[in-house]
Structure 1
Amino acid sequence: MSTGGTFPEQTHVTRLYDRLDELRAQARTRLDAVLATTGLGHQGLMERDVTAAELSRRAALLDSVENGLCFGRLDMLAPGPDSGPDSGPDSGAESARWIGRIGMLDGAGDFEPLLIDWRAPAARPFYVATAREPEGVRRRRHIRTSGRRVTGVLDEDFDGAAEPFGDAALLAAVTEARTGRMNDIVATVQAEQDAVIRAGHRGILVVQGGPGTGKTAVALHRAAYLLYTRRERLARSAVLVVGPNPTFLRYIGEVLPSLGETGVLLATVDQLYPGVTADVAEPPGTAEVKGRLAMAEVIAAAVRERQRVPAEPWPVAHDGESITLDPDVMARARALAREAGLPHNQARSVFRARALDGLAGRAAARFGADVLDGGSLLTDLDLATIRDELAAEPAVLAALDELWPALTPQRLLADLWSSPGRLAAAAPGLTEEERALLLRPGGHRGWSAADIPLLDEAAELLGVDEDARRGAEEAAAAERAEALALAQEALDIAYGSRTSDVDAEDEEAETLGVFDLVDAERLAERHAAVDHRTAVERAAADRTWAFGHVVVDEAQELSPMAWRVLMRRCPARSMTVVGDIAQTGERGGAASWERVLAPHVGSRWVTAELTVNYRLPAEIAAVADGVLRHIDPGRRAPRAVRASSVAPWHAAVAPGELARAAARLAGEERALVPGGTVAVLAPEPLAAAVSRWAPDGVEVLDPRRAKGLEFDAVVVADPAGIVAGSPRGLNDLYVCLTRPTRRLGVLHTGALPEALNGTGLVPREV
């Protein structure tokens, strides 16, 4: 890596930033002009808002690529006549490809590419060219910048003049201190990763990779690549990125914006049900039961149980007398409603209609006419009159609503969890102990993360309450009528003002006024609310939104019921599924990708495996590999690309000193990685105790919240407690050991867990 001084690349980089400033100014000038436009009709206002939104997005994109705008250059074989092996970096311009975050053309009118978007086919050799297969590249140059200044370059020559040393750029990136936020890897994507990012598969692509293989970054860059190659469709439908917890989402939150992409919704599964917040914690055993696939049938049975038939004839007041709701008539109405194939709330109108038909027949029988047996002496008009009278009888409607009530998902589940009888009827396949885990005898106290997929399942089965929908439509119609009346009143006032001020014989009376150009309907439309939300904002508020592509990170942790939620959100089944089966920690998590995906897509999915570990030094990787062999002897750990001179250590302390010692040692580690990040990873109860002693700048997390994160230094406290803490405790320990990029310490009481023996941990006195 050449550093210091002035680099020839600075001239072109300066030109790029000048062009960036021009494009920004143009976008903002156009935006200001569009927003200043007035006097438009309703259609014009809509078009103006669409244009303004696009210009705002363009301006935001240009702002987001300021840092690291250009990071590479390719000098291609068969360049211009003045180029050769000894030519300078700016010779043979027609053969040079400058690679960066976005594509830019010059502003001179000849539309020469000043910068090639890293996702464009022309940029691919920057990531895949090797000395053996140079892809037409004579030289690859890595460019490092600070702000708008070139600070260093690294060359790889593929013409035999020098031995390529491309790992230097990669190693410089992976050994940098962490900041607490994930950085993009656009300048250092490796060939194995590039193949996944640009994979042409349009269905479900599973990216399996061990810790440190960059699978999260690869998945995010793949999302950016798809937004580039399928812009028109994905811009309308948006992309969803699902992570395991809010901490993880904050950690990755800046990656896609730094790549110029903002049309992406980041969420956890429990954030995908608008209007409901999962703020109740519950035992892992309860969450595991709620996450089982069998719960789909439990919810379906709970819905069916609310579609009742009276056990005995049910007298209901009508017209001063009593009419009977016979079980056989109600059973026939229920059967016809179920056969309609509609969600519960929509089928409710079918049930009510068929029940009223039957009740009208029973009412007609009072007049000696057996309608049900075809012997009626009444006319159709007579029967319709009787039916209308029944439909207007509050007591009758109340009885029918009790037999087939309008339900919300929240009411269905709250009633189910609070009633042992309802739960037993809906879940006969669960044991008594399992049903006890689900019950909330004290009533509804809020929703847990495991409840959200069940609410979503219920919403699918229940559908929209038709009465509520009609009420909303009627309210909207009334609001529109009021707006029209107000608009007409305003026009009448304007017209009256003109006729009072202008003599009918005056030629000025021929002058056009507001009432000549705009009628009441158009005036009302001008003041109607316009939805200015982006596709992402609308998607976040709409449970039924269909995303164009979904990225699922730490996918091995999701329950079968959570997968049903995601499959509904992506009916096209265009997904990038990212995870590592060896890191599964949740009780209901994945044992294999086949078991996860087969219920939804059969065998229509493909796997790509990442095999290189960029995060862990070889010394720390050896410790983690020892645990991996105990989890699955047949699984191969990813290969570490670097070694370190710092050996991972372990130390024993007295049980009562564990929390304080972990906090103190983490503080010492922080001093050894200036500017870096440090974490203590411990079982949940111990983590709470360590937090009370931890110095500023040290994060304290349990294994679940540490998933997907990385730190410069990690102290793992109480490994035996981590292993004993769950049925997948070894997986949790493996997660903890694979978080550090530079330094690892293990603090324990008593002997080390067997899985850590002989792994290279060096004893330390504390």
Structure 2
Amino acid sequence: MPENVLEAERAHLAVSRAALTSMREHAQSLSADAAGDWVSQQILQGLLDQRVAALADHRDTPLFFGRLELSAGGDLPGTIYVGRRHVHDDDRRALVIDWRAPVSRAFYQASPSDPMGVTLRRRFGYQGGELTAYEDEPMDGRELAQSRLLAEEIERPRNGPMRDIVATIQPDQDEIVRADLGVTVCVQGAPGTGKTAVGLHRAAYLLFTHRERLARNGVMIVGPNRAFLSYISSVLPALGEVKVDQTTVAGILGDHSFPEDPVTAAIKGDARMAAVLERALWLHVTKPEEGVLYTKGINRYRLADHAVREIVASLRGTIRYAPGRATLAQRLAHAVLVQMERRGESPDDRVQDAVARSKPVKQILDTVWPKLTPEQVLFRLLSDADFLARAARTDLSPEEQEAVLWRKPAKSHRSAKWSAADAALLDELADLIERTASHGHVVVDEAQDLSAMQLRALGRRCRTGSATVLGDIAQGTTPWSAQSWKTVLEHLGQPSGEVTELTLGFRVPREVLDYAARLLPSVAPDLAAPRSLRPGAGSLSVRRSPDAAAAVPDAVRQALQREGSIGVIVADDSVPAVSAALGDIPHGVLGADSTGEERVLVVPAGLAKGLEYDHVVVVEPADIVAAEKRGLARLYVVLTRAVTSLSVLHTAELPAELL
């Protein structure tokens, strides 16, 4: 009987794949020539291309992974297959229902206590896209046993980029994924709880549910670095979403990387800088000392200096800087037109525009409300001690002002070298000058590592939308790492966001997670210790060696005897030595811009966040801790990258917290 069931399900899979191919061929046959003009044709062609890409059949992934048997008497068919995308036959009969459709929610949420109209849930096992097994869960009131297929899918070794988790989403994860578009959700997630995958699946869900609305403003994924973006790059396309911006904070604000003292960077990243920057910008608007004299033919029209001052005062600080400058020109021109009308003239809008562009008005603008760029304002602020003091007032102490002031200023803003912290300040000024465009939804991963000013920059990108904020307070490694998600949401401009916590891990073995959790009292004492569903007996090995680097090749060779990816994580400065120690063992070195597709990778500790490897070899934890101020938090990140086994090699004494 089971074999007959498998054969029937394999037949449905074959029919579904054929139908998907037919749907894609139909999409490819459509032409954009029907659109009227060239611009419309280009837009329509772009939409058709997206549709064709979304209908791609990824042969190594299952087209459906679940089946629901529903109670009789409803409007829905008795049997529903749940998969990554909707598939229908030539008669428009649904063969596979998209996992994001409302009816599919029961696949993730149904339970014996609340069957949601489901009488039986069937899970499928796959190998290379081929159906190999099935498992039935009857909703007849009896307690369900832990799913073997679910456990196997979670524990399946991985190579290359991150996979989607659409077949294994848990009920608490599903609640987050299906949160309404208007709700900002903040997820505090312990290692291995799937917070990154939840964020990506929420983006896919929102794009499906609010397609038309988000087509206008779009969805943006913000990750910590390019290596991380490469790691997650396959998830959304596998779910049928091929047009989503995926970037980093540096990609948004500009890749400014001039080295800077951490103390200085921390001051620049503080939220107090927002008020300092606003004052610095508006200090450029000065009190008018002269009026305006406009001449047209033999007629002269004069605006007294006090009248100009009143107009400037009415605009100063009530409007963004650039629109304010343009409005000032129009207000001055309007005042001149009023005088023209009093003399019996009948000026129109063209005359007002001509006055606004005239030399006398332009002279007033350049003197009183000069045209500025963010670079000009920040250059003056950081290179002029007196100006900085006027702008800072009491927001920055004299010592803090001295810390951020350039000791050897560049000759001009054009030759200035900006740091990563400066990039957020430039973006703040840019928004004060001209309003930043907003996305419909922004997903921010590793948000605990962002400064207040960086969070404000991202908040502007979802000012009229919402956000999914992902992170782990315990993994904060920057000088300004967040201590509270409430503060993060406030800086992001989403104070009403809902904070939820994921503490149950699915990927990191319990033995490894418990070992890493020894660091929590030191790095995040207020967080609950994470738990793992996977016992992972024998997954942890801690070995002392006279030469830790020399012991790496043997540890890697042992890992190579097992299936899966291997990450050798070391202090950033130790990467060349450990790579050399590996000798003739084929391996790659993960860089900020590399894809990291090799099976064995040497990974700098500074790039490990957000990544996962089946087998992890951590070399010299003491060096990782000593490399930065929040070194214990960095070590916590490093130790929790393993999803099958963790080997710790050390020569120096381990940190006391691990003993």
TM-score, normalised with respect to structure 1: 0.72
Query: Which structure 2 residues correspond to residues 536-575 of structure 1 after superposition, within 5 A?
Result: 544-575=436-467
Equivalent residue for 1:458, pick from 408, 429, 451:
429
**Alpha-carbon distance between aligned partners in 2 of 1:439 and 1:662, rounded to the nearest angstrom:** 47
Closer/same/farther in 2, CA of residues 120 and 423 from structure 1, 3 Å limit: same
Q: SS of the residue aligned with 2:371?
A: coil
Q: Of 125, 129, 140, which aligns to 2:106?
A: 125
Mapped partners of 2:40, 2:29: distance in 1? 18
Cα displacement string for residues 94-139 of structure 1 (whole angstroms, at most 9, x for unaligned residues): 52211111122221x3x33211111122222222233444434333
Contact 1:99 1:123 in 2 (8 A): yes
- Return the offset for 1:735: 1.1
Cα distance between partner residues in 2 of 1:438 and 1:331: 36
Once residues 198 and 354 of structure 1 are traced to their aligned partners in structure 2, the CA distance between those partners, rounded to angstroms, is: 49
Instruction: Tell me which of 549, 573, 588 is aligned to 1:685.
Output: 573
Residue of structure 1 aligned with 2:538, choices 640, 643, 646: 646
Instruction: Give 1:449 deviation, angstroms.
Output: 2.7
Post-superposition offset of 1:616: 1.2
| 1:31-180 matched pairs, under 5 angstroms | 31=31, 34-35=32-33, 42=37, 45-63=38-56, 66=59, 67-78=61-72, 94-107=77-90, 109=91, 111-146=92-127, 149-159=130-140, 164-180=144-160
Letter paired with 1:743? S
1:736 aligned onto 2:628: no
CA distance in 2, matches of 1:549, 1:357: 41
Q: For residues 251 and 283 of structure 1, do their structure 2 counterparts lie closer, same or farther at Cα, with a shift above 3 Å needed?
A: farther
Residue-by-residue CA offset, 1:712-751 (whole Å, 9 max, x unaligned) = 1222233233334444332222111111011112233432
| Residue in 2 that maps onto 1:28 | 28
Give 2:650's match in structure 1, choosing from 741, 748, 758: 748
1:193 and 2:168 matched? no
Extract unaligned runs of 5+ from structure 1. 81-92, 319-326, 361-377, 382-387, 464-542, 758-766
Q: How many angstroms apart in 2 are the aligned matches of 1:54 and 1:408?
A: 37
Indicate if the aligned counterparts of 2:564 and 2:615 stay in contact, CA closer than 8 A: no
1:448 aligned residue: 419
Flag the 1:752–1:157 CA change in 2: closer, same or farther, 3 A. same
With over 3 angstroms needed to count, the CA separation of the structure-2 counterparts of 1:278 and 1:389, relative to structure 1, is closer
Q: Which moved more, 1:50-59 or 1:256-265?
A: 50-59
| Deviation, structure 1 residue 553 | 1.1
Deviates more, 1:596-605 or 1:252-261: 596-605
The answer for the alignment partner of 2:378 in structure 1 is 413
Deviation at 1:710, TM superposition (A): 0.8
CA shift in 2, pair 1:143/1:561, >3 Å = same
Q: RMSD in angstroms over aligned alpha carbons?
A: 3.8
Aligned match for 1:434, one of 392, 400, 414: 400
1:609 equivalent to 2:513? Answer no
Mark the CA change 1:63 to 1:602 in structure 2 (over 3 Å): closer, same or farther: closer
Length, aligned pairs only: 616
Partner residue of 1:287?
265
Letter in 2 for 1:10: R
Is residue 236 from structure 1 mapped to residue 210 from structure 2 by the alignment?
Answer: no
Aligned pair in 2 of structure 1 residues 565, 144: CA closer, same or farther (>3 Å)?
same
- Partners of 2:9 and 2:355 in 1: CA distance: 87
Q: Which amino acid aligns with 2:11?
A: T
Determine which of 322, 325, 329 is the counterpart of 1:345: 322
SS at match of 1:627: helix
Deviations 1:219-271 (A, max 9, x none): 11111111121111112221111111111111111111100012321111222
Q: Which residue number in structure 1 is paired with residue 621 of structure 2?
A: 719
Match of 1:63, SS? coil
Give the Cα separation in 2 of the matches to 1:340 and 1:577. 31
Q: Determine helix, strand or coil for the equivalent of 2:162.
A: coil
2:563 is the alignment partner of 1:661: no
Give the drift of 1:214: 0.4
- SS of corresponding position for 1:644: coil
Match of 2:313 among 314, 320, 336: 336
Query: In the alignment, is the contact (CA less than 8 A) between 2:485 and 2:499 conserved in 1?
Result: no
- In structure 2, give the amino acid aligned to 1:343: R
The residue that corresponds to 1:209 in the other structure is 189
Alpha-carbon distance in 1 for matches of 2:138, 2:466: 39
Which residue matches 2:237? Answer: 257
Q: Distance in 2 between matches of 1:23 and 1:602?
A: 41
2:104 & 2:314 partners in 1: Cα distance?
A: 59
Contact 1:71 1:187 in 2 (8 A): yes
Counterpart residue type for residue 647 of structure 2:
G
Query: Distance in 2 between the 1:235 and 1:78 partners?
Result: 38
Question: In the alignment, which of 292, 305, 309 is matched to residue 283 of structure 2?
Answer: 305
8 Å contact 2:221–2:244 — kept in the other structure? yes
Amino acid in the other structure paired with 2:392: A
Contact 1:337 1:351 in 2 (8 A): no
Larger radius of gyration: 1
Residue 597 of structure 1: which of 489, 494, 502 is its match?
489
Q: How big is the shift at 1:425?
A: 3.2
Cα distance, 1:18 vs structure 2? 1.0
Q: Letter of the aligned partner of 2:64 in structure 1? A: C
Change (3 A) 1:56 1:353: closer
- CA deviation profile, 1:546-580 (whole Å, cap 9, x unmatched): 21111111111111111211221112342111111
> Tell me, what secondary structure is at the counterpart of 1:650?
strand
**1:305 and 1:330, CA in 2 relative to 1: closer, same or farther beyond 3 A?**
farther
Is 1:578 matched up with 2:559? no
Tell me whether 296-305 or 47-56 shows the greater mean CA deviation. 47-56
Q: 1:345 to 1:251 in 2, by over 3 A?
A: same
The Cα offsets for residues 423-458 of structure 1, whole Å up to 9 and x where unpaired, read as: 333334434553444344242444333222211211
Per mean C-alpha deviation after superposition, the further-off stretch among 21-30 and 740-749 is 740-749
Q: Deviations over 1:6-48 (max 9, x none)?
A: 63211111100111111111111113xx34x5xx753xx3443
Distance in structure 2 (CA, Å) of the matches to 1:151 and 1:134 = 27
Kept after mapping to 1: 8 A contact 2:459/2:491 = no
Over residues 52-102 of structure 1, what are the superposed CA-to-partner deviations in whole Å (9 max), with x where a residue is unaligned?
22221211110155532111212334499xxxxxxxxxxxx9522111111
Which one is further off, 407-416 or 558-567?
407-416
Q: Is the 8 A contact 2:20 2:57 kept in 1?
A: no
1:236 & 1:392 partners in 2: Cα distance? 38
The alignment status of 1:636 with 2:525, answered yes or no, reads: no
Structure 2 gap segments, 5+ residues each:
296-303, 337-341, 346-353, 589-599
Q: Secondary structure at the match of 2:12?
A: helix
Distance 2:334 2:211 in 1: 53
Distance 1:689 1:4 in 2: 57
Work out the CA distance in 1 between the residues paired with 2:124 and 2:73. Answer: 21
**CA shift in 2, pair 1:753/1:78, >3 Å:** same
Deviation at 1:184, TM superposition (A): 0.3
Quickly say closer, same or farther: Cα 1:212–1:262, change in 2 above 3 A.
same
Stretch deviating more after TM superposition (597-606 or 454-463): 597-606
Q: 1:124 to 1:379 in 2, by over 3 A?
A: closer
For residues 49 and 83 of structure 2, what CA distance do their matches in structure 1 show? 22
CA distance in 2, matches of 1:651, 1:583: 24
CA distance in 1, matches of 2:460, 2:477: 25
Q: Could you list the per-position Cα deviations for residues 478-528 of structure 1 after superposition, in whole angstroms to 9, with x for gaps in the alignment?
A: xxxxxxxxxxxxxxxxxxxxxxxxxxxxxxxxxxxxxxxxxxxxxxxxxxx
Q: 1:271 to 1:148 in 2, by over 3 A?
A: closer
Q: Give the TM-score, by structure 2 length.
A: 0.83
Percent identity of equivalent pairs = 38
| 1:529 match | none
